[in-house]
């Protein structure tokens, strides 16, 4: 009997692709001067001394009160920034979405000239808003309005309006437009056709992505604190400068709890809508 060939026919292509990936990544590793050995917590190097300062976490009453205030400020920055971003992202997403060109639906798929004139400038605006990182906007606003949470709120509002508007437009385009078109052909108004024909099909996805972006805004507000935008980030910066490893550990634990709470909130909202 002939013995069946048990070799994987895709083994050589996979091996070649792996070697090609290594060959392409190796120059980047060399240029980045990456040395994973410095991350090992050896008591003789700086990393070992730095990690040793994290225990025990700071828990005195005065610092915990300061930490609570910084945590609430971080939540306020992220929430206020998201609220302002939604004010721009929702109408921009509706205008930028080609699928929601209701005039096109009522005339057999021919988009109106006014729709095209509005759609492309709005898409260009969304591209510009999300192309500049929020940390750059925060640096600009710190110069413009001074140190404090206001700079972080404005930075999140501008960057996240571009992100939300783009994704909202894509979600609107990916859903089935036949219910909205049927309502239009029956004489319904544009707003009613969107509210009853499109929105119910995308509400869960919109809410899930919005909560995810709110979670990202919490992380972004911490990063922007390093440039003077307030919140937990500014407190971490101060603690690091004072070599207070215990305070840094407590702040990181608090930040972890915030992210876990946001994740659980997202799960709860998705469960209620499905």
- If we measure between CA atoms, which residue out of 252, 249, 106, 126 comes closest to residue 185? 106
pLDDT band at 84 (very low <50, low <70, confident <90, very high): very high
- If we measure between CA atoms, which residue out of 98, 152, 164 comes closest to residue 126? 164
- Locus of tokens 């300061």: 66
Hey, CA dihedral for 9, 12, 16, 17, is it positive or negative?
positive
pLDDT band at 83 (very low <50, low <70, confident <90, very high): very high
Q: What is the mean pLDDT of residues 8-33?
A: 77
Give the domains, in start order, of the chain with CATH numbers. 63-273 (1.10.3720.10)
Q: Specify the pLDDT at position 43.
A: 46
Phi, psi of 2 (to 5 degrees): -80, 130
- Separation between Cα atoms, residue 248 and residue 73, nearest integer Å: 17
Q: Specify the pLDDT at position 47.
A: 60
Percentage of the chain with pLDDT > 70?
Answer: 80
Q: Specify the pLDDT at position 192.
A: 76
pTM of the full structure: 0.73
pLDDT band at 271 (very low <50, low <70, confident <90, very high): confident
Whole-number average pLDDT of the chain: 78
93 pLDDT exceeds 70?
Answer: yes
Name the least confident of 131-135, 174-178, 205-209: 174-178
122 pLDDT exceeds 50?
Answer: yes
- Separation between Cα atoms, residue 56 and residue 245, nearest integer Å: 9
């Amino acid at each position: 009997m002939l013995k069946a060939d048990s070799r994987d026919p895709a083994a050589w292509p996979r091996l070649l692709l792996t070697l090609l990936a290594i060959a392409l990544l190796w120059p980047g590793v060399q240029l980045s001067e990456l040395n994973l050995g410095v991350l090992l917590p050896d008591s003789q190097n700086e990393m070992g001394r730095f990690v040793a300062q994290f225990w025990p976490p700071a828990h005195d009453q005065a610092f915990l009160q300061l930490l609570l205030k910084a945590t609430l400020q971080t939540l306020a920055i992220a929430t206020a920034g998201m609220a302002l971003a939604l004010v721009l992202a929702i109408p921009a997403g509706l205008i930028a979405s080609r699928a929601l060109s209701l005039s096109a639906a009522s005339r057999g798929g021919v988009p109106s000239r006014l729709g095209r004139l509005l759609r492309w400038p709005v898409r260009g605006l969304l591209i510009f808003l999300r192309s500049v990182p929020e940390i750059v906007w925060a640096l600009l606003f710190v110069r413009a309005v001074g140190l404090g949470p206001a700079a972080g709120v404005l930075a999140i509002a501008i960057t996240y309006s571009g992100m939300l508007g783009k994704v909202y437009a894509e979600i609107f385009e990916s859903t089935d437009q036949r219910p909205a078109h049927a309502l239009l052909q029956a004489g319904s108004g544009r707003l009613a056709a969107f509210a009853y024909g499109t929105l119910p099909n995308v509400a869960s996805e919109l809410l899930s992505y919005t909560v995810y972006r709110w979670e990202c805004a919490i992380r972004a507000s911490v990063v922007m604190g390093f440039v003077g935008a307030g919140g937990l980030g500014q407190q971490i910066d101060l603690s690091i400068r004072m070599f207070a490893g215990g305070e840094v550990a407590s702040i990181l634990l608090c930040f972890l709890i915030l992210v876990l709470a946001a994740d659980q909130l997202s799960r709860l909202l998705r469960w209620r809508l499905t």
